[in-house]
Amino acid sequence: MRQRKAQGHRDMASDPLTPAPPPPGDRGLPVVGEAFALLADPFAFVRERAARHGPVVRSRLMSRDLVVLSGPQTADAFLDEANVRRSGAMPPHVAALFGTGVVNQLDGVAHRARKQHVMRALDGAALAHYLPQIRALLRARMARWHAAGEVALQDETVLATLELVLANFAGLSESDAVCARYAKGFADVAGALFGFPVALPGTALRRAQAFTRELRGRLAAVVAERRRHPTGDGASRLVASEVEGARLTDEDIAKELFHLAAAGGGIWAWCCRGVKALADDPALRDRLTRAVNALEPEASGRALGEVALLDAFVREVKRTGWVFPFTAFGVAARTFTVAGHTVPKGWLVTWSTHASHVVDGVAPYASPGSFDPDRFLPGRGDGGEGRAPHAFAPQGPGSALGTHRCAGVEYSTLVLQVFFTELLRGAHFTLPPQDFRLDGSTLPARYRGSMRVRFE
């Protein structure tokens, strides 16, 4: 790894008289480029190209050249704001869906200030406040699963994670029917990301626009109420946040809450990934069950994090789960060199969270395609972070405050720790025969068999 990192450093400092070659890859079909391949399965798109060409791959989406970076050796170049900017990178219809001007569309001082605001809803004090509610909601939902005997866990965890993020961040207590409608709305938002950019009747974009107006309006009403009567939820924390004397507007808070709900709602895919891994490995399930049974029933977040096997298991779930194929797109602000290749100014740039963790030769792990949480246990030496900076970055490389790494890293970890602790303390479960193939055309990828789980 030291040799690879040193090579990357020489590439960045290469002689300007002998410019590095352009990235390998394919421009695809005339006019559309490789847009159809990306739309069909973005996970396979980044995985197959990284396996074939390495950590720097060129492509083309419609009229835009694109470079997909993967692996820790390319992360520093991607994080350098002199190389890659976020503002103006998203197509206007996509930026509007998430809310023009939200944290993932800002750069420089404006981005760092906004990130400090957003982290007020996700810092240690906020997580400690959310923990009892997370635990109570998951216990209640799992009790219903046990009583039912068999559930389609994929659909159930979609509802569960939306219930959590809406309760934690906005203080909302929504019915399953409302959560299901919101889940459909977020699915339309995901479908509109690479779809036809004109909101014709019947298109995912038209439906997504209607949904975003509805939910952001609901969240705006919450923000107005929290200004009058603050609580401990995320909206109240954003209302109270002040950075260098500046506060967020109600509109900005509503946009950031929508963004948090969209990202946090994807935690369900990691829940399902972990259940599948536990069902596949009874010995691992027994070990993890013994570990979590040693915890107090109302264990603190710190106590949960100190269970080494639980921490390692959640890391491996995040590493291998098909939740995000890549980070949000940026634009090359200048021509720069990374891992021996030149990226021209003006190209779209992204960093693949998926390929960076599972592709042999790109991911800094032994047998990256296998599920092995022991790789993250102390002394194993294959835990990623000890091997190279940015080696473990399933929610993007970098630091929480200084870069565009997902603000919800610790929140999602806490939810998963509680989910698996409560699951393993409950009724024994099995997975009946079904189709366990993942459909990579959806974000996150969905199991074709809906992950049916039977509880004894």
> Residue 232: which CATH number?
1.10.630.10
Exposed, middle or buried, 379 (CB in 10 Å: 0-12/13-18/19+)? exposed
Assess if residue 442 is contained within a domain: yes
Assess if residue 106 is contained within a domain: no
Kindly state the percentage of the chain with pLDDT values over 90: 86
Q: Whole-model pTM?
A: 0.94
- What total number of domains does the chain contain? 1
The confidence score (pLDDT) of residue 339 equals: 96
Assess if residue 2 is contained within a domain: no
What is the average pLDDT across 181-193?
92
pLDDT higher than 80, residue 96: yes
Assess if residue 237 is contained within a domain: yes
Q: Over the stretch 246-283, which tens digit does the pLDDT of each residue have?
A: 999 999 999 999 999 999 999 999 999 999 999 999 99
pLDDT higher than 90, residue 423: yes
Which residues constitute the domain of residue 435? Answer: 112-320+409-455
Assess if residue 358 is contained within a domain: no
| Residue of 347, 398, 329, 361 whose CA lies nearest to 23 | 347
Mean pLDDT, the chain, whole residue set:
93
The confidence score (pLDDT) of residue 386 equals: 53
Q: Over the stretch 343-375, which tens digit does the pLDDT of each residue have?
A: 999 999 999 999 999 999 999 999 999 999 999
pLDDT higher than 60, residue 189: yes
Q: Over the stretch 317-336, which tens digit does the pLDDT of each residue have?
A: 999 999 999 999 999 999 99
The confidence score (pLDDT) of residue 104 equals: 93
pLDDT higher than 60, residue 95: yes
Assess if residue 330 is contained within a domain: no
The confidence score (pLDDT) of residue 63 equals: 87
